[in-house]
Amino acid sequence: MNNKEIIAYGIGRRKQAIAQVILKLGNGQLTINEKSGSTYLQNNLTYLRKINTSFTLLGIENTYDVNVKTHGGGLSGQTDAILLGIARALTKVSPENRTILKPAGLLTRDARIKERKKYGLKKARKASQFSKR
């Protein structure tokens, strides 16, 4: 990969998922883990639309090629991680983009993660059924 082609880089995290996003000038092609975006996200239009929200808000669809390396979590967490990574990369491209992306909530890291299992319980909060007798 040629470093002169790279425009911006951003990291996004959500739940257990981590996404490393690289933006290059291009025609709007999405590549996730060396596969096309629609193939990796199993042709789920909700996920594909969510990833493109940053570009649609800024009105720059089909301007950048997005190359993503992601691991951990499931598709939903990875999609949100990619969304955050793209938004962070776009703020590095132009600081004016921050004024549009920040009020839309695209630069906020969702800190909700799985709660740990407690001793004596079946899950984090689930207990066995109470029996009076």
Is residue 58 in some structural domain? yes
Instruction: Please name which of 37, 15, 10, 39 lies closest in space to residue 107, comparing C-alpha atoms.
Output: 10
Is residue 120 in some structural domain? no
Is residue 123 in some structural domain? no
pLDDT tens, 44-58? 999 999 999 999 999
CATH assignment at residue 45? 3.30.230.10
- How many structural domains does the chain have? 1
- pTM exceeds cut of 0.75: yes
Is residue 109 in some structural domain? no
The C-alpha atoms of residue 22 and residue 70 are separated, in whole angstroms, by: 11
pLDDT tens, 97-117? 999 999 999 999 999 999 999
The C-alpha atoms of residue 117 and residue 83 are separated, in whole angstroms, by: 29
Q: Which domain holds residue 51?
A: 6-101
Is residue 43 in some structural domain? yes
pLDDT tens, 47-95? 999 999 999 999 998 889 999 999 999 999 999 999 999 999 999 999 9
